[in-house]
Chain A
Amino acid sequence: MKSYFEKYKKTVHGIIFVGGLFALLIILSLVIKPKSGEVYDINTVQMKCEATAKERAESIDVAFAGNSESYRAFSPLQLYAQKGVTSYNLGASALRVCDCREILGNFFKQQSPKVIVLETDTLFEEGSPYRDPDAHLTNKVEKKLPLFHYHTFYKRWIPESVKEKDMYWKDASVFKGFLAETAVRPYEGGDYMSVEAPKTKIRETNRNVLKDIIKLCEKNSASLVLVSAPSATNWNSAKHAAVVKWLDENAPQVAYLDINEKLDEIGIDWANDTMDGGNHMNLYGSKKVMDYIGDYLTENYALADHRNDSNYKDWEDNVRKAGLY
């Protein structure tokens, strides 16, 4: 009889162990879970939010959102130098549209931009907060136990010397989120917009997030403009058509500008204006793009020109510091 009890004692220990483990996971999940909505890359989102928080409240009139296509093509300093309009680039590498929504929502808490420019490349990438949207079971577990979803939370605790070098932090206060690259690697392919591409559409998760972004802009009295930056490797006529179709049917009030259809007009030279064989613009390409966008924005929206305003002297200083415009 004694050995019978012994046998079950160990099993009971096991059950207590597993129970305790669950309790621990639940408690840690509650502690770790960020107060924001669900995001994919919590550390990048937080880095961008921290960087934008350093800007003077109510000083930014335009925000550029999206992924790397955005931060390589849209330069806030150039926009200020040419038009005196203050802006910030909220883009980050491979940023999912659900994370864009989060960063934008946070941005609206301190700023009242009049125009939001969303680069469209992110609409055609995976947009859900989960690594694999088809792993239903895993995702359900991550929803119930966010510790697993946000388990890299510790990565935001980095020494200053390392943080200084982070690409979203390093020159952010000067370049306002834009990343300048002078390297040239030509695109040698042909006209990628006139080639027939298989029909595509914006996937459901992304459509829902886009609807949220539209509502968010409306709530904050900002106009939303969708823009496709030049990208020979990522963009094509099918994606263009998908954006046009969705906007026509769901949000005709949102403007759409596809720069891939204006390459000749703005003088994009694929031998010189791309840093990586046609994927992203480099500094030279971005100058031509922002020339056009700057004109477009000031012609279509009432945006203040702050160039003679002493409150915006720091922007003058930054333009001078950058030495590019």
Chain B
Amino acid sequence: MLENFITFLKSGIGVSYAMWQYPVLFLPVTLLLYQLFPQRFRRYVLLAASLLFFAFFSGILIVFPIAASLISYAAGRIMENIAGNKEIKRKERTRRRKRVLAAGIIILLATLAVIKYSDFAGLTLVRISHIFHGNFQWNLLDWAVPVGISYFTLEAIAYMTDVFRDDIKAEHDFIKLLLFIVFFPKLMEGPISRYNEIADDLSSGRATTADNVANGYQRILWGLFKKLVIADHLAPAVDILFQNNIMDGSLSVAAAILFTIQEYMDFSGTIDIVIGSGITFGVHLTENFRQPFFAKNASDFWHRWHITLGTFFRDYIFYPVTLAKPVMKFTKKVRDKFGKFAGTIAAPMLALFLVWLSNGLWHGPRWTYIFYGMYYFVLIELENIFEEPFLGVLKKLKLTEESITVRVFRFIKLFIIVIIGEMFFRADNIAIGVKMFMQIFTNFHLNVLAENAGFLGLDFWDYWTVAAGMLLVIAVSVLKERGYPIRTKLMAYPIAARFAFWYVCILAVVIFGAYGNGYDAAGMIYAKF
């Protein structure tokens, strides 16, 4: 047993949130230790668990989040010292603090860029040199990327900027800041958190309650349901559909739709597990998804999908850029010359471009991600331009925004926009994405999809399981969108009924989850022949 445990520790593979060891072993043990330790040591339990969790995946690279914490800590303290130095004039103090902030941000971003994007930059230079008949060589560095670096880098930047803006006070307690950066539930997939939202609760060492644990685990169960019962069933089908020999538009559409569903269930399901984990400790991580498919347009979609990424870009790129003096001057000129409408479109354009470029690039070092960002940039600008004329048309047709026709129209439009975007996001490269897209118009045959339905790694039961799972998720989403208090209503039932209900839910995940034998994705692709 011990030998296995050590192999387990040493393997460096780690346990991700949806593997059974996480909710059954890692989390409960951490919770137990947390409760047993006296209050002032509880934060160290969380810290140790987090560092261990990180080390499972990236081992020695743990120096990176620790370094990011040190840099943020130092920047915060230095800015505070400068601010407290009344001998310097106010403007000079601001200027110096700005320089410290800039230095901190540049160091962190440069680290991220070099570790994650060097090969991408190198290979791009190779391509460019080939276009000019040059001969630039690039040897792949293939560096190991510390898990979560894209997330904690943003959180550290947010911390330093918030200190600069006097939104929060510089943290004097290094452990508190370190714990914020490495807290294990949000380490791998976010949500991208703000210091003042969770740092106090995290370090308080306040004992957790049975209610917290119950509520947290209910949320975790919901996430496991979405991921294991829906997303993981679709994974092999999506893999098969995105292989290069896409032959028909109907398969492109299927690929786009199935991947979108898989991605939503996987990501939002994992976030449910993450937020549930936080709740078990009494820590309230920010929501990252809010029924995204109920959005009225692409902009709104991004206020509901990966919310914390959107708010980060809004607060740390969009507002600073649009409110910068040169940009404001330009906006005013445009508004004076071309009218208010032009002003509304032109003003945020540069900021929007930077936001979407960053969004695309943040997802990873691939041209398909940059394309994804630019895709939304263009669409959102177009939506802004056509917003008023659209409302004018509605008025003429005597329709309101609440009428069924409008809502259906908006849903279909949004759905198409989202699935096409996701199709490009997932495609191996832009050329393939374009090919898949064009085939929808030039080569669409529904019977091809029907013929291939049996070869997507999904059998009779799998299709029905996914369908039933989706119906359930849709039903819950409708209730949540309407503000229906699901959990309160559940808690009103007698305890025996509640126990039975949760047993059924757990069994649903155990029985219908796409794990274990027969769900070896790579094996499935090979197997059918």
Asked if B499 is at the interface of the complex by the 8 Å CB criterion, the answer is yes
Name B203-260 residues within 8 Å CB distance of A. Answer: 209-211, 213-214
Q: Which of B287-295, B414-422, B515-523 has 4 or more CB atoms under 8 Å from chain A?
A: B515-523
Q: How large is the interface on B (under 10, 10 to 19, 20 to 34, 35 or more residues)?
A: 20 to 34
Q: How far is the CA of A96 from the CA of B65 in the complex (A)?
A: 44
**In chain A, residues 181-236, which have Cβ atoms closer than 8 Å to a Cβ of chain B?**
none
Q: Please state if A151 and B516 are interface contacts (CB–CB under 8 Å).
A: yes
Chain A neighbourhood of B513, CB < 8 A: 151
Tell which of B5, B461, B495, B510 touches A155, judged by Cβ atoms closer than 8 Å. B461
Binds A, one of B130-138, B164-172, B501-509: B501-509
A149 within 8 A of B: yes
**Any chain A CB within 8 A of the CB of B528?**
yes
**A14-B214, A20-B499, A162-B460 given; A151·B527 CB < 8 A:** no
- Within B408-467, the residues touching A (CB, 8 Å) are 454, 459-461
How near does chain B come to A33, taking the closest CB pair, in angstroms? 14
B19-33 at interface with A (beta carbon < 8 Å)? 20-21
Size range of the interface on A? 35 or more
Apart from A17-B502, A41-B517, 4 more pairs, CB < 8 Å = A20-B499, A28-B507, A94-B527, A155-B461
Cβ contacts under 8 Å, B338 to chain A: none
Chain A residues near B21: list those with CB within 8 A.
137-138
A154-B7 Cα distance, complex, nearest whole Å = 34
- Which of A7, A24, A151, A276 makes the CB contact (< 8 A) with B503? A24
CB-defined contacts of A93 to chain B, threshold 8 Å: 527-529
Q: How far is the CA of A94 from the CA of B523 in the complex (A)?
A: 8
B residues apposed to A, CB below 8 Å = 4-5, 7-8, 20-21, 209-211, 213-214, 454, 459-461, 495, 499, 502-503, 506-507, 510-511, 513, 516-520, 523, 526-529
B20, B511, B519, B520: which contacts A138 (Cβ < 8 A)?
B20
A130 partner residues in chain B, CB cutoff 8 A: 517
With both chains docked as a complex, state the minimum distance between the C-beta of A178 and any C-beta of chain B, in angstroms. 15
Provide the main secondary structure of the chain A interface: helix
**Residues of the B chain whose Cβ atoms lie less than 8 Å from the Cβ of A10:** 209-211, 214
**Chain A residue nearest in CB terms to B500:** A20
CA distance A28 to B211 in the complex (A): 28
Q: Is A279 an interface residue (CB 8 A)?
A: yes
A142 at the interface (CB under 8 A from B): yes
Q: How far is the CB of A205 from chain B (nearest CB, A)?
A: 15
Contact pick for A13, options B210, B459, B527, CB 8 Å: B210
Shortest CB-to-CB span from A169 to chain B, Å, is 13
Q: Are B511 and A154 in contact (CB under 8 A)?
A: yes
Cβ–Cβ < 8 Å partners of A43 in chain B: 518
